[in-house]
Structure 1
Amino acid sequence: MDDARPAKTGTPADRARWRRYLADERAEGAVYRELAARRTGEEREILLALAAAEGRHEAHWLALLGGDETGIPRADLRTRMLAALARRFGSIFVLALAQQAEGRSPYATDPDATPAMAADEQIHGEVVRGLAARGRRSLAGTFRAAVFGANDGLVSNLALVLGIGATGVPASVVLFTGIAGLLAGALSMGAGEFVSVRSQRELLEASAPDPAIRDALGHLDLDANELALVFRARGLGEQEAVEEAALALMRVRSAEESRLPTGALGAVEHDDEAVGTAWAAALSSFCFFASGAVIPVLPYLFGMNGLPAVVLATVLVSLALIVTGATVGVLSGASPWKRALRQLGIGLGAAAVTYLLGLAFGATIA
């Protein structure tokens, strides 16, 4: 438990800092309670325990203030946004943002925070990381396809449109080239994701134990213990493999369980949610590629041409790249701004190369 300190006077700056910490702790506790209200079972219990811990920290700062709650400010903007998102959505985005917030705790260097409080904040970051990881696993397969699809659609079609447009061809040619690029790319991405995910699943299934061997377990020679070879082939040491095999045989021959679970055979575990389904990945990739690829075509769809169309297409794609990059940053628990700028730099760099090549070829043709 935190060793709450008795009230002390403190400087005006100290008391202002304590009030700010108190407001933030209250808001963070509210975030966890809002998230808990949307969950059941173990996740709910974990989130309520986190809220209780924030309550202990709140009590610490209130004790230093002597119970004086006058002048308590609003929580910082980030925490208030988290609370609002938790009330409305309760999604993986909120947990990812909460993970970042826990990692920025100032308690480790604050002389008025206890070592236990600083340690709590570090542990809270790992707890939230674990909760967020559950959501990330369920998103991983389709989310990867969606992000890659949208980013590829934005970059490849912007590069295509700018490259063709820089050659000086009519706006109608640029428009139909962009539409053709959209359809070709979306179909290619969807087919590629389908084959990729289906192949990944087939490879994982090929590593799983053959269910038919369960019928043979009850007839194995206990002295020879051939089953130990299965465990050794899957990476266990000789002695450990013998022990696991003996336990497996006892289980399958017991009166309580006549069939051995697949996992007991040393299966190579894989997460179906993380891999995703082939059709979901293909559909996500197709739709998001198309949604990204249509953006650089929009100025030409509305009749623009020349430099204004190029500038507007670049601006629109830049904004979309920033959004996709920031989204990836939030979900990965990293800085959204760094991911957004990285996405922007890579995308515009690729488009700039193609545009310059288009200018060169246009000048050559002319």
Structure 2
Amino acid sequence: MQHDQQHKELHLQSSDILTDIVIGMSDGLTVPFALAAGLSGAVSSTHLIVIAGLAEIAAGSIAMGLGGYLAGKTEIDHYNSELKREHDEVETVPHKEKAEVKEFFANLGLSEDVQEQAVEEMTKDKEKWVDFMMKYELGLDKPDPKRARNSAFNIGLSYVAGGIVPLLPYFFIDTPLQALKISAVITLICLFAFGFFKSKITGVNPWGGALRVTVIGAIAAGCAFGIARLIQS
């Protein structure tokens, strides 16, 4: 029992909702942070930075959410299109489809007799036959019909949650550069923690992943700040 639990843990894969959170949170932490940093080098009022930051978070969350919706919708449409094609092929060229099923079992190392029996059993039910072809020939699992809507919500909300973090100091501090210092500390810590978590669930070295995410966020903010200063001068 203990061995089975360890085996499952080693092969743990991120769910759809975790994938959405990673996508939304990654951009949510980085883009508003870079925007706030850039504006901190160009304006003298944190009020303007807060307004611009909130506007960016609203626009960014909508854009990211729409992207997630379209990606989910495309996945569903692609699956339905391939499903229809497989149904048509089972009806029009069953011999070809049976040969593909047999080839799959042959690749598993089954004997000729067992292959024939497996093909016979598999192709009795056309619905199960088609499902088998979708999964093992095309590598497609049936998507959740609510996937597009849920993805849009998860990504958009994660973007908002991530975007608020670098803006928080600007709500309470009047000096942009002072607010930027605190924002940088908070955001870089969050980026490091986020990168560690993301790498952990995706099987990548968590410390290396955390460092990469943190460095990318710092470079983006630094470049934005430097460019704003350059333009201002």
How many angstroms apart in 2 are the aligned matches of 1:292 and 1:316? 11
- 1:236 CA drift (Å): 4.6
1:228 to 87, 95, 103: 95
Kept after mapping to 1: 8 A contact 2:76/2:143: no
Structure 2 gap segments, 5+ residues each: 108-112
Whether the 8 Å CA contact 2:44–2:175 is kept in 1: the answer is no
SS in 2 for 1:359: helix
1:343 maps to which of 194, 213, 217: 213
Offset, 1:178 = 0.5
1:331 offset after TM fit, Å? 1.5
Task: Name the CA distance, whole Å, in 2 between partners of 1:250 and 1:189.
Answer: 47
Change (3 A) 1:203 1:290: same
Change (3 A) 1:264 1:187: closer
2:13 alignment partner in structure 1: 136
Q: Which runs of 5+ in 1 are unaligned?
A: 1-44, 51-94, 96-126, 221-225
Q: Distance in 2 between matches of 1:353 and 1:275?
A: 42
In structure 2, do the counterparts of structure 1 residues 350 and 286 end up closer, same or farther at CA, with 3 Å as the change threshold? same
Counterpart of 1:173 in structure 2 is 48
Equivalents in 2 of 1:290, 1:314: separation in Å?
Answer: 18
The structure with the larger Rg is: 1
Query: Aligned with 2:227: secondary structure?
Result: helix
Question: Are 1:292 and 2:162 counterparts?
Answer: yes
Residue 58 of structure 2 corresponds to residue 183 of structure 1: yes
Residue matched to 1:203: 78
C-alpha separation between the residues in 2 aligned to 1:245 and 1:351? 60
1:269 paired residue number: 139
Matched, 1:162 2:32: no
| Structure 2 CA distance for partners of 1:231 and 1:250, relative to 1, 3 Å | closer
Higher relative contact order (CA 8 A, sep 6+): 2
Conserved 8 A contact 1:298-1:313:
yes
* Correspondent of 1:332 among 202, 205, 208: 202
Backbone CA RMSD of aligned residues: 3.6
- AA at the equivalent of 1:184: A
Cα distance change of structure 1 residues 234 and 207 upon mapping to structure 2, 3 Å threshold: farther
Tell whether the 8 Å contact from 1:166 to 1:355 is kept in structure 2 after alignment.
Answer: yes
CA gap of 1:281–1:361, structure 2 versus 1, over 3 A, is same
Partner secondary structure for residue 268 of structure 1: coil
Task: Point out the structure with the larger helix share.
Answer: 2
Q: Which amino acid is 1:197 matched to?
A: G
TM-score, normalisation: structure 1: 0.53
| Count of aligned residue pairs for this structure pair | 225
Determine if contact 1:214/1:260 at 8 Å carries over to the other structure. Answer: no
